[in-house]
Amino acid sequence: MPIELKIPTVGESITEVQISEWLKSEGDSVKQDEPVAIIDSEKTTFELPAPLAGKLTKILHQAGETVAVGAVVAHLEADGETGKSKPDEKQTPAKSEAKGTHESGTKTEKPETVGKPQPKKDKPAEPKNDDSIGDGEKKATPVKAREEPISAPETKTKTPDAKPSPPIANQKSLSDREEEVVPMTMLRHTVARRLVEARQTMAMVTTFNEVDMSSVQTLRKSLKEEFEKCYQVKLGLMSFFVKAAIDALKQFPQLNAEIRGNDIVYRNYFDIGVAIATERGLAVPVLRNAERLGFADLEKAIGDFSGRAKDGRLKPDELEGGTFTITNGGVFGSLFSTPIINPPQTGILGMHTIQERPAAVDGQVVVRPMMYLALTYDHRLVDGREAVMFLSRVKKAIETPARMLIEV
């Protein structure tokens, strides 16, 4: 009896998914828990593993199809049952091979019958539109008689002279103007829809500031080896900004709130979303109760999210919710940008690349590692004053990291 491969539950709000790619073909052997397909949902991309070791016998839904959660998409045959089904499998190909031989035989007979007159020069015996193929003067009169009522062969005779085919082929190879139509993944479609909705439903405004990264760089350099030895993880930049954002959110709770109908929902917890770019699209896993996590815990969680996001192994519940988001375009070299809010949140903090620039310090012009910060906020709930002061608070926390410890 075949084993059914079903689409698992991937979240309360998700009722259907899309088969992005089959990693195995019919007849391929699979190991237990080995991925056989890549599945796209509205929130994430994940791999569909084989429940048991065996062979993939039947694929019921092809790549690109949308199927419901719980639907059977393929049949597997366990290793223990392979021996029982082998005789049937051998018979089926044998029959198909016999049919294929018979059909191919029939098809080969037809081309042979059609092709036989050519060696016997039956067609030249009926010269339709070529005066050079006549055997003598007696055949010239019937050729002309047949040419008069037939206009199509005359056109075909001129076509080889004009030789349009080679130029067309050459133009195609020289221009290299090609198009490829690829179906939009469910994840990409959802991201696109939500971003357009954010533009249409929110009064988004972006404010900017710049921060001197000297203190953070010095701190990371001095504690790098000790921190890694103690916690088995590197001390990165993102943990500093998560801490700084939480510090500022405590002072300006509007940016950690949500508009729900005619109400404003304020929260006393901080679920920080961290935007991670992958080949399959943007993923924003959430650090639950980030205010309770230390620097090492934050770095471990962010590193784990990043690795699993690239492999398509994030769980749907890890992508749900979130009260505020941080995105770092600086890893790709972005100097300046205006991030878009992830609804129903009311704010998103954008980090950018660190660049050495001249800065005025104590009346002197010095070169410092500077970063532009961008805060996009929903003006329906957050006023410009709170937004500017929020960003200023983040700046102070990054430039003086000790402030985050003593909370001043």
Whether the CB-CB separation of 78 and 52 falls below 8 Å is answered with: yes
In terms of Cα–Cα distance, which of 202, 175, 143, 183 is closest to 338? 202
Residues 6+ apart with CB under 8 A from 121: none
In terms of Cα–Cα distance, which of 153, 155, 131 is closest to 141? 131
Residue pointed to by tokens 């104590």:
362
Catalytic residue among 130, 131, 135, 383: 383
Q: How far apart are CA 36 and CA 151, in angstroms?
A: 59
Cβ neighbourhood burial of 151 (10 Å; 0-12, 13-18, 19+): exposed
Other Cβ atoms within 10 Å of 81 Cβ, number = 17
Residue pointed to by tokens 């080889």:
160
Whether the CB-CB separation of 366 and 329 falls below 8 Å is answered with: no
Catalytic residue among 102, 131, 311, 379: 379
SS3 341: coil
Element (H, E) at 165: helix 165-175
Please say if 383 is a catalytic residue.
yes
Please say if 379 is a catalytic residue.
yes
Q: How far apart are CA 396 and CA 16, in angstroms?
A: 46
Backbone angles phi, psi at 372, to 5 degrees: -80, 135
Cα 121 off chain centre by: 60
Other Cβ atoms within 10 Å of 333 Cβ, number = 9
Other Cβ atoms within 10 Å of 121 Cβ, number = 9
Q: How far apart are CA 175 and CA 164, in angstroms?
A: 17
Residues 6+ apart with CB under 8 A from 246: 270, 272, 290, 291
Cα 6 off chain centre by: 23
Q: Report, as residue numbers or ranges, the catalytic residues.
A: 379, 383
